[in-house]
Amino acid sequence: MKNIIIASTSTLHEGSYLEYLLPTLQIHFKNCKSILFIPYARPGGISHDEYTAKAAQAFSKINITVKGIHEFENAEDAIKNAEGIFTGGGNTFLLVTKLYYHNVMQILSETVKNGTPYLGTSAGSNICGLSMQTTNDMPIIYPPSFQTLGLIPFNLNPHYLDADLQSKHMGETRETRIKEFHAFNSIPVLGLREGSWLEVNGDKITLKGNLKARLFLQNQTPQELETESDLSNLK
């Protein structure tokens, strides 16, 4: 039975890393003494070791130890044997490239579908959807495919940002970008604002946090969804 938390961001403004999620994570990972961290997305280009140390520091507050997947000889075995798994944010193109390079995209999907508790933030949440095609990240590396874990039957846009109506910048708004995605793809896209997350328990998907989320369906006006909305039938 799936047991997943998919968060828009790791960090809220003026908060520390994972701080706002710790009470939730304490319950989510209650049966884990140790979790596996996947640091492949390397935010700002930091090393796997530095990134793993950052995750370990946050999880030490709830008495869980953290080991990076790069510390294991066999990445596939590390995933299969993990008590819980956390994939951190950073660059989604890099994350997806490395998951394919280490040949673990499929085993990660199967392991999480079989019930290993999973946490994703930002890029680590993007990969929970059907494809990474609604990421905000820069294509700094060419992945072998845009297909991702498919843990939920739709796509996500983490760090969802409403258009700034005062802005004089002429670059595309987030909404325009998602509209361009829907010119070619019929997959629903959920814009998750910072502070929102999805809780997946078995086939039940629930919007959590204090904020609304914005749902984009092909050829339809976007909708605002209240917290605690049930998204189990969205596809």
Subset of residues 86 to 125 that bind a second copy, contact rule: CB under 8 A: 90-91, 93-94
Candidates 136, 206, 227, 232; binder of a second copy (CB under 8 A) is 136
Alpha helices in the chain (DSSP H): 22-28, 48-60, 75-81, 92-101, 105-113, 123-126, 174-182
Q: Which stretch binds a second copy (CB under 8 A): 109-117, 177-185, 203-211, 225-233?
A: 177-185
Structure tokens at 96: 């997806």
Q: Is 122 known to be catalytic?
A: yes
Selecting among 70, 159, 182, 196, the annotated active-site residue is: 159
Q: Which is nearer to a second copy, 25 or 78 (CB)?
A: 25
Closest distance of CB 43 from a second copy, Å: 7
Residue 11 in contact with a second copy, rule: CB under 8 A: yes
Q: Report CA-CA distances (Å) from 46 to 51, 54, 100, 209, 213.
A: 6, 11, 20, 29, 30
Distance CA 208, CA 25 (A): 13
E runs forming strands in 92-203: 118-121, 155-157, 189-191, 197-201
β-strand pairing of 197-201 with 3-7: antiparallel
Q: Which stretch binds a second copy (CB under 8 A): 7-15, 24-32, 105-113, 227-235?
A: 7-15
Closest distance of CB 235 from a second copy, Å: 19
Contact residues toward a second copy (CB under 8 A) are 9, 11-14, 42-45, 90-91, 93-94, 132-142, 145-146, 159, 161, 168-172, 176-185, 194
